[in-house]
Structure 1
Amino acid sequence: MKMEDVYSKLPILETDRLILRKISLDDLYDMHTYCSNEEVARYCTWNKHESLADTEEFVRFILNKYELDQYALWGIENKETGTLIGTIDFVHWQPKQQIAEIGYAISQAYWGRGIVTEAAKAVITFGFEVMDLVRIQAKCLIENVGSARVMEKVGMSYEGLIRKGLLIKGTHHDLKSYSILREEYKQVI
């Protein structure tokens, strides 16, 4: 599938407990709930949202990227409540290399429930079966134990430490690097 097709036709993905879909302005308050949480923002590249206006600016940024067919970001909706509880996306995608990297953020109220693992499995399946990827990777700050555990649960292999691999909020951080290959994923997902 071509890059522009994925971006312009970003499909709804459904799992047992979740609907992965495009973000809308209706998600503003739900998104603000978790984006304004210091603990959620601690492991992310973005700063905690200080106001609803910060979240609205971010949502409008996402909507603009959708309109320009430049973004493959899914909102993670709890099927039972209809609440937006996080996001997951391909933060980097190299179509010619058939490689992509996933990233995610989830409301602290849903940590430890297997939600991100469930969403990541759906996105990984989409990546290999629809986008024709050969490799999907992910990285996390070394202190983000929960994120590292998600990567392991979706069948990714630990590849090593990237020393001072990312500048976040004025500090260089060491990262753990993980990946899964197309030929491996059907054995674990």
Structure 2
Amino acid sequence: MVKSFPTLQTERLVLRKLRQTDAGDFFANFSDEETMRYFGMEPLTQLEQAVQTIEGRLQAFEEDRAIRWAITFREEDRLIGTIGFHRFDRESSRAEVGYELNRSLWGKGVMSEALQAVLGYGFDQLNLNRIEGLVSPENVGSLRVLEKGGFTQEGILRAYMFFGGRYHDSVMFSMLKSEFEAKAKS
């Protein structure tokens, strides 16, 4: 995959490596029940869980299993969300994208902007051919992010995830490298 962690920049954002000093902001996002409602895991309840989760994400990068960026504004190096790839299938050149954002910034185009940078990196630098996104059918905001980003909805995966004491459906989205390239040319 990648030897050193890449930093990506957009008009408003810097996507950089997670740091343990991000734990407070990370905890604020991952302990928020509304933010975590469709995320697929229970909200964090202790700051130490944020520290451990960040360490796990850094370790996953070192082991070439995943890559997760901290999303910050250019003018303020403070974590507002994260985005990245996991569930790599190297043989098929595909991965799944995942993200979350501080609720105060929902609906302001921040995640759409971060997603385009990450897609470009995935297709151009990681040589992915397919990037997938799995979203709860009730997560209207995330559905919009993927649709706006050019993803194609493929179908519903019934009872695909288990969290919060019950099974949940997921909507499967995908984008192919050829689609991303065609969109970039238009």
Task: Give the TM-score normalised by structure 1.
Answer: 0.91
1:116 corresponds to which residue?
111
The answer to whether the 8 A contact 2:65-2:87 is kept is no
Residues 154 and 188 in structure 1, CA contact (< 8 A), matched pair in contact too: no
Supply the distance in 1 between the matched residues of 2:30 and 2:82 (Cα, whole angstroms). 11
Structure 1's 66 and 182: CA in aligned 2 closer, same or farther, altered over 3 A? closer
Deviates more, 1:73-82 or 1:112-121: 73-82
- 2:110 maps to amino acid: I
Report 1:1-189 matches (<5 A). 3=1, 6=2, 8-189=3-184
Q: Closer, same or farther in 2 for the Cα pair 1:89/1:60, shift >3 Å?
A: same
Distance change >3 Å, CA 85–CA 69, structure 1 → 2: same
Equivalent residue letter for 2:15: L
- What does the per-residue CA deviation read over 1:106-132, in whole Å, with 9 as the maximum and x for residues that have no partner? 110111011111111111111111111
Percent identity reads 35
- Unaligned regions of 5+ residues in structure 1, if any? none
SS in 2 for 1:82: strand
Tell me, what secondary structure is at the counterpart of 2:181? helix
Distance 2:15 2:28 in 1: 18
Distance 2:38 2:152 in 1: 21
Shift in Å, 1:32: 1.4
| Matched pairs, number | 184
Q: Gapped runs of 5+ residues in structure 2?
A: none
Task: Give, in whole Å, the separation in 1 of the partners of 2:140 and 2:163.
Answer: 18
Taking the aligned partners of 1:62 and 1:98, their CA distance within structure 2 comes to 21
AA partner of residue 164 (structure 2): K
Task: Give RMSD over aligned pairs.
Answer: 1.5
Tell me, yes or no, if the aligned pair for 2:66 and 2:88 is still in contact at 8 Å.
no
